[in-house]
Each structure stands twice: as C-alpha cells, then as structure tokens.
Amino acid sequence: MATSFNPTPRTLMGPGPSDVHPRILSALGRPTIGHLDPEFVAMMDEVKGLLQYAFQTKNELTIAVSAPGSAGMETCFVNLIEAGDNVIVCQNGVFGGRMKENVERLGATAIMVEDDWGKAVDVAKVEAALKATDNVKAVCFVHAETSTGAISDAKAICELAHQHGAVTIVDAVTSLGGSELRVDDWGIDAIYSGTQKCLSCVPGISPVSFNERAVEIIKNRKTKVQSWFLDLNLVMGYWGGEGKRAYHHTAPVNALYALHESLVMLEEEGLENAWKRHQDNHNALKAGIEAMGLEFIVDEASRLPQLNAVTIPEGVDEAAVRSTLLNQFNLEIGAGLGALAGKVWRIGLMGYSSRAENILLCLGALDAVLTDMGAKINSGAAISAAQAKMK
Amino acid sequence: MATSFNPTPRTLMGPGPSDVHPRILSALGRPTIGHLDPEFVAMMDEVKGLLQYAFQTKNELTIAVSAPGSAGMETCFVNLIEAGDNVIVCQNGVFGGRMKENVERLGATAIMVEDDWGKAVDVAKVEAALKATDNVKAVCFVHAETSTGAISDAKAICELAHQHGAVTIVDAVTSLGGSELRVDDWGIDAIYSGTQKCLSCVPGISPVSFNERAVEIIKNRKTKVQSWFLDLNLVMGYWGGEGKRAYHHTAPVNALYALHESLVMLEEEGLENAWKRHQDNHNALKAGIEAMGLEFIVDEASRLPQLNAVTIPEGVDEAAVRSTLLNQFNLEIGAGLGALAGKVWRIGLMGYSSRAENILLCLGALDAVLTDMGAKINSGAAISAAQAKMK
C-alpha cells in the first residue's frame, strides 16, 4: 500500500521551480470551487489585470494557459504560425531549439540565427537574416535563456522585426518578475512565461499575452489552429468578459489561486523593486562566487541576475557536489543543460528564492562541500565578500 | 491594489470539479521541491503504479499529462492518428464532438456514429460503420459522457474494433474511480481521464494509459507528432525508468502531490468499494429525486451513478435555481451543456462529493428552493425516500 507523500523541505536554487512562498502555498491549498463559480470568474479577471501589470501591457488577451511554459510556447506558435510561413528563430541555448521544433511541426520554415551558448542574441545577425529572407512572418527569441543565464535585447530585436513587417514571439519564462520587461513599450507582439521562476508560484501554468496585431493574425488565419486545446479562438471565449464566458476546459482552479496570490505579492512589492531585488542579490552572490574563485560563463553586460551559470572547479565531480548539497543541506542547485551539461552549475536566485539568507546558505554550502572534496577554491572567502555587498 | 483571494467554501455537486478532500488539499499545499529531486522522481513512480491500479492495467506507459483532460484527449489523438487516417468517432454528447475536432485538426477523416444525447453508444451502429469503412485506424468513444450521464459498453465496442483491426481511444474522464473500468480486460488501447471527477483531486492534470499496441503505433509513425508538448516519444523519456529521466518540461509538482494523495486514498478504500459507493449513493439520490417528482433523462440501464442529469420542472427558471442554491446554501449543481442546455440539471456525486450528507443537502436545498418558487414538485417527500435507501 502506498502512503502519503511528505517531501523533505528543500531550498530551491536551481533553474526552477524556485522556492514557493508560504502565502502562495496557503492560497494553493484553499478549498476548490467551481471553475464557473462567479467568485472564481471574478478572480480570473483579477489575474488578468495583475498579469497585465507584470507584463507591463494593456493587451486585452493576457491570460494564463492551463499548462506549463512549454505549452505557453506552443500556444504562441500554433496560433500565429501556419504551414509555409517563414520564421526567424534565434538560438543561443536550449529553448531556441525548442522554438525551432515548434515551427517545423507546423510545416513552417525556421530560419536559424545562431549564437554561442552563454551569449546574447546578436542583433546584427537578426538584421542580416531579415534582409536576406522574403516574407518573414515572425521573429522569435528567448528574452532570458534559462539554460545559460544570458539576457537579450528584446527591444532592439522587436524594432528590427517590425521594420521588416514581422511580428515577434518572445520567451520570457525566466525574466517575468525578475528583469525589466515592458511588453507594450518594447513592441512585443506575443509573449509567454512560466509561473515557477521569478513569480515563485508552483509550476504548471503559463502566462501569455498577445497584442492587437497578434490577435488580428489569429482571427484571420487561413487554416484552423492544429491544437484544439491551445486554440486561442476558443480560449479567448473562456477568458472573455463577464457573462460571455464559454466553457472550453476545466481551469486548474487551485493553481490559479496560487498564481493570483503570487501576483498580489508582486504588486505589493512593486515590479521595479522586484527587478532591483533580483539585481542586488545577484551582486552579492557574484561577490561570493568570485571570491571563492569560480567564474560566470556569461559576460556581465548580458548576464541574468536570477540565473547564474557558474564554472565547475577542475577535477570536481559536479553531480556529486549537487547530490551532497541536496543530501546534507537540502539545497538544490541546477546542472548544466544541452551544450553546457557537465560544464556549469546553474544557481537560481528567482522570486522568493532571491533573498539574503539563501545567498549565505548557498555560498556556505558550496564552500563546505568543495573544500571537503579538495577542490581548488579560496575556502572561507565567500561569505564576507557577499556580506559586504548586502549591507 | 488586489488582495488575497479567499473563496467561499462550496459543496461541489456539479459535473466537476468535485469536492476535494482535505487530505488532498493538504498534500497539494506541501512545500514544492524540484521536479528532478530524487524524492519527487520516486513519487512519480508511485503515481504510475497507483494509476495502473486505478485503470486496472499493467501498461508501462501509464502517466499523468501535465494539463487538463482536454489535453489528455489531444495526447491520445495527436500521437496515434496521422493525416489521412480513417477514424470512427462515436458521438452521444459534447465530448464525442470534441473528439471529431481533434481528428479533423490532424487532417484525418472522422466517420461519425451518432446517437441521441442521453443514450449509450449503439454497438450495432459501430459494427455497421466498421463494416462499411475500409482501413479504420481507430474507434473512439466516451465511456462516461459527462454532458449527459450515459455510460457505454466499452468492452463490447473494443471487441468489435479489434475484430476489424482498429485500436480504441476511450474517454474515461468521468468514469475513472467511479464506475467499473478495466483497461486490460476490456482491451482498451489508449485511454485518458481527468483528476477532478471521481478521483476528487484538483483539476489540471490528466491520467492516460497506452498499451503495447498503441506504443508500437506511436513508435512507428510516418510523421512527427504535431505537438511538441504532447509528443509521447519525448514524454516517455521524462516518465521513464529511474536514471533514464530526460528533461522535457517542468512537471506540475504540487498538482502531482495531490494526485498521489487522491490515489493513495483510492487504494485505501479499494477500487471496487469506490465503485459500489458511487452506485449506492446514486440509488439514494435517485429515490429522493423521483419522490420529488423529477426525472432522469438517461435510462437506468445506461445511467452513470456519478453524473445525474435531471429534468427541470415546467416553468422554472433553471439558472435562478442554481444561483439560489449557490448563494443561499453554497451548493453548486451543474447546468445542461450543448443540446441539453436549459433542459437539465447535472448533479454530480463524484469522489468525495459522493457521500450521504451531500445527498441530504442537495435534496433538501432543491426541495426548499423549488417549493419557494412555486414549482410543481412533491414537497417534503425527498428526504425520507433517500434515507430509506441509505440504511
């Protein structure tokens, strides 16, 4: 007979999920009510408004897809792209590759703009690709690459795309709530994110937003959207104005309670304060990591504060370090992914995980475990270096 | 400024979500851990085993899709069906129509076998369609139609399909955990369900199971699965044996805690006891409903015990009744859907909602509100009729 599952509490400093604030867990566990209950419908409307704030947009079509970030990505692609379209896809990590998969499974053509893992998307290369290709329907890129920790210039890429008559599809899974992101000011046409990163909510739903231009494209498609579940023509009816709500699927009621609470907390803190907190805490972690003798693989200019890809000291079994951190200190940090597998650790400072005590725990635990393993680091230097930045 | 959302507790006796047991809400709100944490991975393995029990199957590919039942449906269709395939779709309610949408969006042909809403699928019609059509790839039907409350003979339809070389795709959203369902004995090849019905878990994830024959079809497809998110060739790697887990997407960690707890509770009760409880409680509700003078639209032989579609007394504003039940007694019952909109109420007795006190509340509240509105019912007769069946 199976028995109830009681997870050992962890401190989550990997690439996501991040630590979920007790207020959010508490909201998550509130009694389930019907997905058509007037109280729930009113809460969905609030979620919409709060997401507009988080995305800095007035887009009417700003909702949460009832599935993880990967499904948010797919929502953007299946609704905006049709077979035969030309789509420029920028790849500088894992998630650009996933965008390519999405484009190709739609029967469209992906024109790849590739940059090294750990670098920002090269805007000049995007311009060259736009000039070299006729009828580009969309330019797609990852604002904040979770696999490497690099941030790209979303505003510049959007301007270029628009000059060439293309719309933009932007991955903001790791940037939403953690780094400056201005959907309207920057002219982002379609964007998707996740809840389990800088919003510190549980994983499983995906905030998305589409501007008028994107909505026009969706309404004027030549073919039906290939996914029934993700067809925004149907989903729009479900998230539509009060009284017009049409049954589409059963919303993940409790997950939306949690998202609501996480967005309430974001509004309480203030979006710009949240961005600043992520940057300040990165600065403290960085001081400690560098004092220890480890390095960041992303240049400071394009480094995400909330996702820190850090080199592994020579001769160290990186997986053994992660296991020991987990088993001895209940601390999770992330492994490298794709081209960076085995080459970096990914230390997340996202949402509720981004706080002073976590920085000390992470630096102290890394110092202890690496020193134990005989790694070549400056033992004992990290904590005071970090503390100097935290005052 | 938005504030925390505190839903008014309701008693959920609509078509789902059903009442979520406090043990399950409590599991849901436990601290989030990483989706690659060894403890979480071990829990996912337990979920797999418990789902095999619930489905009565030994199928290795038995998992929970990280999205609602509609996405579970789409998972079955996009993986098994390819453009050009002939697919027999049985429709006797809303969800058969959704299957048709799925088939057509894949570029396949849907051969419809239609029955009146409220009737079971007519097995003779399925046989006729199989005889009349060459190269039928799959026969698809809804085991338990949530929109009408009719149950169909899954075993007989599967036998017929196999005689003609077709596989079966079965919707068990409302039957899993509530009505007899034997995936292996009945020869069901692919099946999907939901968590928010007779499992009494929160909405948002979808249990699915595929037998060897279905897996062979998936592995030998001529074309790529059109959805990256739902591609089982990738998802299989994620839910695969220990040590082989490949990152695909971030699992909805807390929702899976909740599903685990709901399945632990199902195992504790015993599957056959759960089926019996649903039937016994239906019998009590039925006695009360009929004593009041209302009728069931589904014949007893094909009536689902957990989803009761009940006629509305003449001249009564059915929406006003539902609003009053909700506002005065915090009781939710469901409206009719599609062809039955405005014609029936749907009273759910699913999972944790299926208990004696709920039957009394529902009958008492309906009696009170309908009597108040001057409806022609036998006031005061329902409770004792139900109680006579509950002893």
Query: Would you call B25 an interface residue with chain A, using a CB distance cutoff of 8 Å?
Result: yes
Contact with chain B for residue A254, Cβ under 8 A: yes
3-state secondary structure chain A: CCCCCCCCCCEEECCCCCCCCHHHHHHHCCCCCCCCCHHHHHHHHHHHHHHHHHHCCCCCEEEEECCCHHHHHHHHHHHHCCCCCEEEEEECCHHHHHHHHHHHHCCCEEEEEECCCCCCCCHHHHHHHHHHCCCEEEEEEECEECCCCEECCHHHHHHHHHHCCCEEEEECCCCCCCCCCCHHHHCCCEEECCCCCCCCCCCCCEEEEECHHHHHHHHCCCCCCCCCCCCHHHHHHHCCCCCCCCCCCCCCHHHHHHHHHHHHHHHHHCHHHHHHHHHHHHHHHHHHHHHHCCCECCCHHHECCCEEEEECCCCCCHHHHHHHHHHHHCEEEEECCHHHCCCEEEEECCHHHCCHHHHHHHHHHHHHHHHHCCCCCCCCCHHHHHHHHHC
pLDDT digits (tens, 9 = 90+) for A346-372: 999 999 999 999 999 999 999 999 999
Q: For residue B224, is it within any domain? A: yes
Residue of chain A with shortest Cα separation from B104: A226
Q: Please write the tens of the pLDDT for every residue from A332-342.
A: 999 999 999 99
Number of cross-chain residue pairs from A and B with Cβ atoms under 8 Å apart: 265
Which candidate from B226, B251, B267 shows the least CB-CB separation from A105? B226
Question: Which residues in chain A have their CB less than 8 angstroms from residue B17's CB?
Answer: 32, 34-35, 250, 253
- Provide the domain limits for residue A203: 21-267
Q: Does B66 touch chain A (CB under 8 A)?
A: yes
Query: Is A167 inside any structural domain?
Result: yes
In a domain, B53, yes or no: yes
Taking chain B (391 residues) in runs of 10, the rounded mean pLDDT of each run is 97 97 98 96 96 98 96 98 98 96 98 98 98 98 97 98 98 98 98 98 98 97 96 84 69 97 98 98 98 97 97 96 98 95 97 98 98 96 96 79
Are A128 and A155 within one domain? yes
Record: contact A202-B16, CB cut-off 8 A = no
Q: Establish if A14 belongs to a structural domain.
A: no
pLDDT at B241: 52
pLDDT, tens digit (0-9, with 9 covering 90-100), for B60-87: 999 999 999 999 999 999 999 999 999 9
Q: How confident is the model at residue A244 (pLDDT cuts 50, 70, 90)?
A: low
From the list B12, B226, B258, which residue is nearest A226 (CB)?
B226
Q: Which of residues 71-130 of B touch A (CB under 8 A)?
A: 71, 73-74, 78, 98, 101-102, 104-106
Pair A73, A220 in one domain: yes
A174 and A38 in one domain? Answer: yes
Tell me what pLDDT residue A278 has: 98
> What pLDDT is stored for residue A377 in this prediction?
97
CA-nearest of B24, B18, B7 to B358 is: B18
- The predicted pLDDT at position B242 comes to 46
Q: Total domain count for chain A? A: 2
Q: Summarize pLDDT for A71-129 with one digit per residue, the tens.
A: 999 999 999 999 999 999 999 999 999 999 999 999 999 999 999 999 999 999 999 99
Q: What was the pLDDT predicted at A241? A: 52
pLDDT at A379 over 50: yes
Contact B229 A67 (CB under 8 A): yes
CATH of the domain at A352: 3.90.1150.10
Nearest by CB to residue B260, choosing from A5, A205, A253, is A5
Q: Do B216 and B174 have their domain in common?
A: yes
pLDDT at A245 over 70: no
Tell me if chain A has a CB within 8 Å of the CB of B264. Answer: yes
Of B5, B194, B229, the CB nearest to A43: B5
> Does residue B16 belong to any structural domain of this protein?
no
Domain end residue (candidates: B200, B232, B267):
B267
**Confidence class for position A239, pLDDT limits 50, 70, 90:** confident
Q: What is the CA radius of gyration of chain B?
A: 21
Task: Give me the CATH number covering residue B233.
Answer: 3.40.640.10
Considering chain A, what is the average pLDDT of its residues?
Answer: 96
Give the whole-angstrom CA distance, residue B240 versus residue B260.
Answer: 18
A147/A160 same-domain check: yes
pLDDT, one tens digit per residue, over B302-353 is 999 999 999 999 999 999 999 999 999 999 999 999 999 999 999 999 999 9
Contact list in A for residue B73 (CB cut-off 8 A) is 229
A28 touches chain B (CB under 8 A): yes
Give the one of A50, A78, A205 whose C-beta lies nearest to B2's C-beta. A50
Minimum Cα–Cα distance from A23: chain B residue: B4
Q: Contacts of residue B24 in chain A, CB cutoff 8 Å?
A: none
Residue B225 contacts A where some CB pair is shorter than 8 Å: yes
Q: Is the same domain home to A195 and A344? A: no
Residue B269 contacts A, CB cutoff 8 Å:
no
B354 DSSP assignment: -
Asked if the C-beta of B3 comes within 8 angstroms of chain A's C-beta atoms, the answer is: yes
Portion of chain A with pLDDT greater than 90, in percent = 95
Give the model's pLDDT for residue B240.
Answer: 67
Strand partners, A171: A142, A192
Q: Both B221 and B350 in a single domain? A: no
Query: Within chain A, what is the greatest distance between any pair of CA atoms?
Result: 66
Buried b (16+ CB within 10 A) or exposed e, A300-317: eebbbbbbbbbebbeebe
**CA distances for A349 relative to A19, A359, A377, B37, B255, angstroms:** 9, 8, 22, 18, 24
Looking at the structure, do residues B59 and B183 belong to the same domain, yes or no? yes
Q: Does residue A9 belong to any structural domain of this protein?
A: no
- B180 and B216 share a domain? yes
Q: For B281-321, list the strands marked E by DSSP.
A: 307-311
A2 touches chain B (CB under 8 A): yes
Indicate yes or no: CB of B250 within 8 angstroms of CB of A68.
yes
- Domain end (from B236, B267, B298): B267
Token couple for B153: 């003979």
Same domain, yes or no: A146 and A207: yes
> Nearest C-alpha of chain A: how many angstroms from B388?
31
Final residue of a domain: which of B234, B267, B300? B267
Given an 8 Å threshold on Cβ–Cβ distance, is B227 in contact with A74? yes
For range A206-221, the mean pLDDT: 97
CB contact under 8 A, B105 and A251: no
Q: B27 at the A interface (CB within 8 A)? A: yes
ipTM of this complex > 0.85?
yes
Chain A, nearest residue to B227 by Cα: A105
Does A315 share its domain with A366? yes
| Cα four-point dihedral sign A81, A82, A87, A92 | positive
Quick check: A32 and B46 CB within 8 A? no
In-domain check, residue B177 = yes
Determine which of B174, B228, B257 to mutate to test the interface with A (most A C-beta atoms within 10 Å). Answer: B228
Whether residues A245 and A285 share a domain: the answer is no
Q: Nearest to residue A71, comparing CAs of A289, A243, A227? A: A227
CA B193/CA B207 separation, integer angstroms:
5
Report in angstroms the alpha-carbon separations of B32 from A345, B225, B238: 21, 31, 19
> Is B146 contained in some domain?
yes
In the predicted model, is pLDDT for residue A242 greater than 50?
no
